[in-house]
């Protein structure tokens, strides 16, 4: 360990809460991931956090636990085991169908106080941010929001790193005084383990901690955001940047994305210019993605963009500048004018599909409307 870091460890915290008296935290063991779901479907970030949680738990030689809350969600408890959990707490009750802060946080607090995990992780989603904040305040403990790296040191301290000071540096935040140590992380930052149905684990039922009549908020209706792009779960992303020259060229990217069953992404430059909405932005201040295939079209490859897409399985870069930094991380690079190359790729895919459909009309390669 670096000398500077050792000194830092010994320094007493200058501000903030102090635990009363000598608290023995040694009974706190293991990593707990709170699984987020909506209508019985888990958010992919939950499985990604179980993947990272497994790595941390193995390093700590401690169990990996998951907490599933909702209504008719027992299948997710099994899924959590397939994705790496040793033990799953399942709170399955009709009044927990929709997320509400108090009933959900009460369940989390009960599980944390009873089973004492040393680390608690959640997705940095709207729900995860709300829930994590409520829990950390009640326990009380520290919470690092929006972590991009999670590790543990030899003192079992969680090293939660996140961009700080206008994203100019990476800060590693430690919670030395309290347990559990809490962090949220964005979707796409960590990799889920392959789903393994042969994995076994323990499922522990947990009762809801509030009676329905004690819950003072009611969800009247749930309106799904329409037209919002789901970059985080996309297998194929066709992203464009300033090189597109204007908003109209995104039509070319949409055509290619449609042929591949993908979605359109963008660099911040294209978003800042007002060519496309912010929900399409990928990078440090946008979404972090992990698709199987990523097209970077007219995007130079600035570090702030690359951190959001470098985990794609395959990266195809199209740029007229052979020196563009994006080529350093691309698996396939095409040097040339995007206005010629993109329609040519789209047409080639269409022709291949048409030829395949003609050869085997029973198995159409494009979805058919019946
Ligand atoms: C704190 C901070 C946070 C940031 N967060 C993000 C973020 O989340 N996401 C993000 O993307 N950026 C982010 N940025 C901005 C980032 O630094 C870059 O400015 C931005 O990514 C550049 O976007 P670009 O690649 O589209 O544009 P440029 O860098 O201008 O690149 C355009 C590229 O298009 C190519 N090109 C031009 N015409 C053609 C053509 N006809 N055919 C083919 N290629 C062509 C050019 O050769 C060039 O390489 C952030 C910056 C800061 C300071």
Question: What would the DSSP string read from start to end of 36-103?
Answer: PEETTEE-HHHHHHHHHHHHHHHHHT--EEEEEEESS-HHHHHHHHHTT-SEEEEEE-GGGSS--HHH
| Tokens of residue 277, six digits | 């909405």
Cβ proximity of 156 and 118 under 8 Å: yes
346 inside domain? yes
For ligand 1, whether the C-beta of 285 sits within 6 Å is yes
Residue 115, pLDDT score:
98
344 and 241 in a common domain:
yes
The model carries a pTM of 0.81
CA distances from 288 to 143, 148, 185, 252, 276 (A): 21, 10, 10, 23, 17
Is the shortest distance between the CB of 240 and ligand 1 below 6 Å?
no
If you take atom 51 of ligand 1, which residue's CA is the nearest one?
304
CATH of the domain at 336: 3.40.50.1220
Q: Which two tokens stand for residue 186?
A: 């964005």
Choose one of 214, 245, 277: the last residue of a domain: 214
Query: Do residues 87 and 114 make contact, with C-beta atoms less than 8 angstroms apart?
Result: no
Same domain, 201 and 297: no
For the CA of 168, the nearest atom of ligand 1 = 1
Answer yes or no: do 208 and 249 share one domain: no
66 part of a folded domain: yes
Domain boundary among 166, 181, 214: 214
How much is the pLDDT for 265?
98
User: Does 285 share its domain with 155?
Assistant: no
Print the domain residue range for 148: 27-214
Residue 2 lies in a domain: no
**Same domain for 204 and 280?**
no
Atom of ligand 1 nearest to the CA of 242: 26
Measuring CA to CA, which residue among 214, 227, 219, 146 is closest to residue 182? 146
Q: Ligand 1, closest atom to CA 338?
A: 42
Q: Are residues 50 and 130 in the same domain?
A: yes
Distance of alpha carbon 85 from alpha carbon 193, whole angstroms = 11
Is 320 contained in some domain? yes
Domain assignment present for residue 50? The answer is: yes
What's the token pair of residue 244? 């597109």
223 lies in some domain: no
Q: Please check whether residues 112 and 243 belong to one and the same domain.
A: no
* pLDDT at residue 16, rounded to an integer: 58
User: How many domains does the chain divide into?
Assistant: 2
In a domain, 5, yes or no: no
Q: Are residues 66 and 177 in the same domain?
A: yes
Token pair belonging to 174: 């430690």
Query: 60 and 167 share a domain?
Result: yes
Q: Is 116 in the same domain as 192?
A: yes
10 is a domain residue? no
pLDDT tens by residue, the chain, 370 residues: 556 655 555 445 445 566 776 778 899 999 999 999 999 999 999 999 999 999 999 999 999 999 999 999 999 999 999 999 999 999 999 999 999 999 999 999 999 999 999 999 999 999 999 999 999 999 999 999 999 999 999 999 999 999 888 667 889 999 999 999 999 998 999 999 999 999 999 999 999 999 999 999 999 988 877 778 889 889 999 999 999 999 999 999 999 999 999 999 999 999 999 999 999 999 988 999 999 999 999 999 999 999 999 999 999 999 999 999 999 999 999 999 999 999 999 999 999 999 988 887 776 665 443 3
pLDDT (0 to 100) of residue 2? 56
If asked whether residues 253 and 206 sit together in one domain, one would say: no
Looking at the structure, tell me whether residues 240 and 210 fall in a common domain: no
Q: Is 291 in the pocket of ligand 1 (CB under 6 A)?
A: no
CATH code of the domain in which 99 resides: 3.40.50.620
Q: Which atom of ligand 1 is nearest to the CA of 241?
A: 26
The pLDDT of residue 202: 98
How crowded is residue 346: how many other Cβ atoms within 10 Å of its Cβ? 20
């Amino acid at each position: 360990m670096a000398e500077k870091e050792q000194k830092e460890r010994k320094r007493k915290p200058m501000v903030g809460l102090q635990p009363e008296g000598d608290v023995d935290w040694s009974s706190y063991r293991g990593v707990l991931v709170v699984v987020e779901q909506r209508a019985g479907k888990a958010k992919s970030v939950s499985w990604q956090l179980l993947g990272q949680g497994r790595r941390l738990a193995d390093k700590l030689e401690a169990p990996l636990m998951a907490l599933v809350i909702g209504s008719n969600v027992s299948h997710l408890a099994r899924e959590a085991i397939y994705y790496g959990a040793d033990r799953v707490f399942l709170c399955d009750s009709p009044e927990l169908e929709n997320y509400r802060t108090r009933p959900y946080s009460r369940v989390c607090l009960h599980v944390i106080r009873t089973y004492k995990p040393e680390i608690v992780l959640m997705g940095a989603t709207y729900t995860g941010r709300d829930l994590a904040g409520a829990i950390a305040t009640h326990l009380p403990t520290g919470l690092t929001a929006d972590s991009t790296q999670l590790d543990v040191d030899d003192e079992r301290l969680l090293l939660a790193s996140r961009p700080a000071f206008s994203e100019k540096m990476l800060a590693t935040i430690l919670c030395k005084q309290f347990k559990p140590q809490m962090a949220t992380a964005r979707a796409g930052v960590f990799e889920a383990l392959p789903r393994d149905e042969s994995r076994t684990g323990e499922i522990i039922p947990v009762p809801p901690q509030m009676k329905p009549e004690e819950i003072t908020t009611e969800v009247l209706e749930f309106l799904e955001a329409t037209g919002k792009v789901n970059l985080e779960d996309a297998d194929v992303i066709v992203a464009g940047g300033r090189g597109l020259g204007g908003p109209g060229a995104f039509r070319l990217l949409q055509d290619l994305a449609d042929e591949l069953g993908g979605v359109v992404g963008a660099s911040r430059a294209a978003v800042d210019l007002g060519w496309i909405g912010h929900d399409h932005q990928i990078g440090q201040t946008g979404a972090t993605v992990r698709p199987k295939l990523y097209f970077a079209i007219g995007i130079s490859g600035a570090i702030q963009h690359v951190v959001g897409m470098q985990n794609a399985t395959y990266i195809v870069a199209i740029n007229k500048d052979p020196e563009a930094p994006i080529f350093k991380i691309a698996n396939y690079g095409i040097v040339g004018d995007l206005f010629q190359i993109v329609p040519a790729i789209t047409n080639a895919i269409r022709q291949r599909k048409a030829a395949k459909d003609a050869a085997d009309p029973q198995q159409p390669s494009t979805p058919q409307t019946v």
